[in-house]
Amino acid sequence: MTKKEGAASDSGCEDLTGLTADRLKIKIADYTSQKRSVLDPRTLVGLNVVFSMVMLISPSVTANVLVFCISSVIMILFKMRRRLWKYTLVFAAAVLIPFFLKSYGAFLSPAIKNALFIISMGVHKFVPFMMVAVVIFNKVDTKNLVSALNKMHLPKGFMLGFAVAIRFLPTIKKETAIISTGMKMRGIGLGVKSVFLHPMQSLEYALVPVLFRAVSLAEDMSAAALVKGAEAAQAPTELFAVKFGKLDAAFALGSLGLVTVAVLFNLDLVISNLLRSFAA
């Protein structure tokens, strides 16, 4: 084995030096035609918009549970099982708290019961939406997302704003952690104690550096978008394939069908009647 072959095998890359121009074009076409994510970005964004509307409008607990199950499947497909456990515990607690309050909440005051009920309802409606949003933020490449939205012929301002927001939020989260670490090194704490004892001072210490950093990041990201031709009149060249495939269609139709059945046929009442019949 030559040194060049040994280096290629050690790095896990295929040696392309001996290929002809035609063969190299075929390999590049095969590589760029591969899907970069399990589901199309339009599937994730569309389902998340529909699910958020359903959870806000519909009082059906069964529909919310189905939306959570679909969001869990999405997280599993994108290999985010560790985070899924955390969301599962939070969602299960939020769903079970109202039943616990109805059965064993007689010793609590009405104000506390109403507050816990409202918080649990808000949490179990917000968690599935948050799960899909986390997948979009962490697993969907911005270039693929912009290409997918561009195929929907949406306004360019909306697409760029959406893409910048997706990149901005994780970046500002990291910057906030860096700012918090720097303040701790200078002896400035931002814990619960300091927030309660000195709320205005803590707000100033936390908010001012984040705002300055956010302005700087926004300018950098805007400049980067302009350099990459965001305002060009021509459609950008797509390096990787963005396709709405059979898996996307089946997953979207199946998810929407299940949630529609749960809302229209009032599965909450059907399930409660079945449980009563079994109990009797």
The CA distance from 207 to 67, in Å, is 35
User: Which pLDDT band holds residue 70 (cuts at 50, 70, 90)?
Assistant: very high
User: Model confidence over 76-111: pLDDT tens digits?
Assistant: 988 888 889 999 999 999 888 888 887 776 777 788
- The confidence score (pLDDT) of residue 139 equals 83
| Average pLDDT value for the chain | 76
pLDDT for residue 184 is more than 80: no
What DSSP line would sit under 114-159, residue for residue? HHHHHHHHHHHHHHHHHHHHHHHHHHS-HHHHHHHHHHTT--HHHH
pLDDT band at 12 (very low <50, low <70, confident <90, very high): very low
- For the stretch 134-143, pLDDT in tens is 888 888 877 7
pLDDT score, position 231 = 65
- The per-residue pLDDT for range 33-57, each reduced to its tens digit, is 555 567 888 888 889 888 888 888 8
pLDDT of residue 32: 53
Q: Helix, strand or coil for residue 6?
A: helix
The amino acid at residue 128 is P
Q: Is the pTM of this model over 0.85?
A: no
Contact assessment for residue 148 and residue 35, using Cβ atoms and an 8 Å cutoff: no
What is the structure's pLDDT at 9? 43
Cα-based distances in Å from 18 to 12, 13, 23, 176, 198: 17, 14, 10, 49, 68
Q: Over 90: is that where the pLDDT of 72 sits?
A: yes
Instruction: Report pLDDT for 84.
Output: 92
pLDDT for 27 = 61
For the residues 141-155, what does the mean pLDDT come to?
76
Neighbours of 69 (CB within 10 A): 13
pLDDT exceeds cutoff 80 at 19: no
Is the model's pLDDT at 235 over the cut of 90? Answer: no
pLDDT over 50 (residue 193) = yes
- Asked if pLDDT for residue 30 goes beyond 70, the answer is no
Task: Give the pLDDT confidence of 167-179 residue by residue, as tens digits.
Answer: 777 777 777 777 7
Q: Please return the burial class of 78, using the count of CB atoms within 10 Å of its CB with bins 0-12, 13-18 and 19+.
A: buried
Residue 151: which residues within 8 A CB-CB, separation 6 or more? 42, 242
Record the tokens describing residue 100, joined without a space.
């616990």
What do you get for the CA distance between the two ends of the chain, in Å?
77
Higher pLDDT, 216 or 275: 216
The Cα–Cα gap between 147 and 139 comes to 15
Nearest in space to 193 (alpha carbons), one of 204, 206, 180, 202: 202
Q: Residue 10: its pLDDT value, please?
A: 43
Amino acid 5: pLDDT: 45
In sequence order, what DSSP letters do the residues of 199-237 get, joined into one string?
HHHHHHHHHHHHHHHHHHHHHHHHHHHHHTTTT-SSPPP
Question: What's the average model confidence in pLDDT over 127-131?
Answer: 90
